[in-house]
Structure 1
Amino acid sequence: MSHAHHLLKLLLLLLAVLAGSQPHGAVAAKFEVKDVTNKTCTIVELLMNFSIKYETVEEKEKLIFFPIPEDAVVSGNSTCGKGSSESSLLVVTFGTGHSVSFSFSRNSSVYYAEKLGVAYNLGDKHIFPDARRNDVSFSSESTGINAQVNTTYVCMTAQEIQMANATVVISAARIEAYVPGSDYSKEETVCEADKTTSTTTVPTTVTPTQPPTPKDPVSIKYNVTSSNGTCLLAQMGLQLNLTYITKYNKTGVEIINIDSNATASGFCESTSVGLSLKSERTSLWLFFSMDTAAQRGSVLHKVRQVVTLRGALNVTNTSLNYLQATLGKSFKCSSKQILQVSPVFALDVFKAQVQAFTVQNGKFGEAEECLLDQNNMLIPIIVGAALAGLVLIVLIAYLIGRKRSHAGYQTI
């Protein structure tokens, strides 16, 4: 790898940190339900992110993402139930009229989180500034969360629970209902997803090997279209470059290619378009915005990534400024680009051509070459000019030397 490439990657990393990207060590929120004697009956600790689809005042569908905030609290509606066989309920409230709830039940050997419910207030202008309606919507769905009685349910892997107009992503979860003591039970029930992604234990004297680096990703064409036509056209290969800490307290790197099996979807709005790519392990969102004042389109301003990686990694950065092109033109870059999203996640883009908002007849507009390609073209020109200059200097030196040698034989 060249020194210029190392320098570019370091510069992008510094810019990502200064831009305020989400920190690596996100802290799981912890909630407890207690009975009238102040004894704990339910403990839920997890990372939780929401994506809500709603209708705007312009009668268009919009998708918004947000995490459960740090100031979320357990509601007084939460209950332990009157007996060990009766259903218990955890209700957590936050913001202006938003809540999330878990309802639990049990039998003699197993307890279940039967339903996850989400209530969101479209009248909250902080989260839904352009919502057409102002009512509170509620969705619920089964969770698949269950564990042996008197054990703690543990699941580091991200779990996506889809509802009517809401999707909840749960990760880094430690949950126990019908707690026998005052805290989590020592015995654990580990979810199946964690079992399938766990690695074999090796002696501590052996240094763990890094996963093999895959080949460059295949360039894939993406098209996001609404009733008004195509709003995003892209041809590119995408590669996720992820950094994590191993159980040996060493830095590990995993590289994942986005292939043609990923499910692609998206949305079109007047000043924002989105591309979603989902696969078995990853969920990647790319958001493009329009700067009408500067007449710039195809500006990648936000990336959200959820990936199952020996647990779960959830990264969002809303302060990006990549893949820029003038409105009506396309951004093109044959060189590999490293888009640093956070200190632990970079999106590597290969052979890219992207155009947003003003796509005519489903075809790319005039291409604007990226700086990397311009530099790559400039280097051969500089080298060629330097060689030509060197040849010219040698030729001049030769002619001067020849002239001087002839001067010694002139007739007196």
Structure 2
Amino acid sequence: MYRFATFVLFLTLGIAVQLSHGTEVNVRDKDNNLCLYANLMVNFKVSYEVAINKSSTAEFELPASVTSGESTCGETSSTLNLHFGDGHSWSVNFTTDGKMYWVDTITFSYNLSDAIIFPNSTSTDTTTIYAKSQIKDVRVDTCYSCKSKETIETAPVSQMLQNVLIQAFVGNNSKSEEMTSCAADVPTTPVAPTTHTPTTTTTQAPTTAPKTTTTHTPTTTTTHTPTTTTDAPVTNATTTDAPVTNATTTDAPVTNSTTTDAPVTNSTTAAPPTPTPTPTLPAPTTGKYKIQPDVNHTACLLADFGLRFKVKEEEMNFEPNGTAVTGKCEVNSSELVLTSKTATIKLTFTNDTKKFHLHALNVTGKTSSGVAFSAANTNLSLWEAAVGSSYMCNKEQNYTISADLSIYTFELRVQPFAVKKGVFSTAEDCQADGESFIVPIAVGVALLVLILIVLLAYFIGRKRNMAAGYESF
């Protein structure tokens, strides 16, 4: 019995150790050198629909057995891409500036047709959500360590990260032993309470001497009534001074003969401060983005544009430098996801085999003043062009996404389908939308004027011929 109990105890401990170990992944580059390391635990909670107006919640974890073959390592951007189960994936995109690295985007895709995790689901779609993490400001050549729990809420998904040990952009083919700990793991030193000794401040009221005892000379001497000490039996040897009577008179108290003039207050009324005008933003930097399935294939989506947001009355430019680019290309739809330090933008394009257009736009972020914003529109028909060509518009365009959010595009050119040899195809210019009718109208007007001139010349000539005939008679 004792041996059996011992065996069960060791078995339980073994399971606990295995669960606490989480998921460990070593990503190697083309030279088989370690370039990205991860050891972490991720728990998911997903709310999904099981009937009309009814939902259920699935809870599962990132298993120890995953495939990481699609993970990539680059000089400024690396991706940890983990696939597991029946069509599920979890990926983390890292970016570095050479001194620090951070997580740009966490992408989680889950397959609702997996009946084991999502029983009775009314949908069989694969849904993808994008989230931001608190993993930031990690020094290069150090591991990011966080034993505390970090919960990331992105409806309808909740992700909880725990016991995280990650190093992106690994050098020297080995994981660093130096750690950059998360703020939650850093112990806070309690500040000892400071005891202040109370200080008693005695303020003497100005002594007003009787008028008869004050001699006004260049040096004014105030003569006090001599204090009479009564020689009574000594009890506590207290000498009682005769109180100085502060005469309540209308005369100002006399201190020294020096008269201090009250500061002269100028009666000039200060003008109200002029409000500082909002500086005009420069044109945003044009970013050049592309989706490339892997290193062996050319780009399947190209996009160049400068972007500006207007959140209520505040404007901000989208900065392409350091922006992480992710997405996908499919037969009838393509996605471009841009993630910077301040905003995440998801553009969804669709096509009907003849023409493509921007169908949906989802934007989340935070302005420079710290105001968070989020807006989506899934019923757009913008940037339309023929499949096999690109859409171009160099002029500034303004689009209202929601009541609080507008976007402005500059030097726009996109081609989400049928990209050949990794370059843009012939562009359909937005100028043609306004100018397509101008040319035929101008030609028509010119022809009409020409016909009128010919007819007028004909009638004038005929009238002259008729007049000449009458004269001959």
Q: Normalising by the residue count of structure 2, what TM-score does the alignment of the two structures yield?
A: 0.40
Instruction: State the structure with more CA Rg.
Output: 2
Q: Normalising by the residue count of structure 1, what TM-score does the alignment of the two structures yield?
A: 0.45
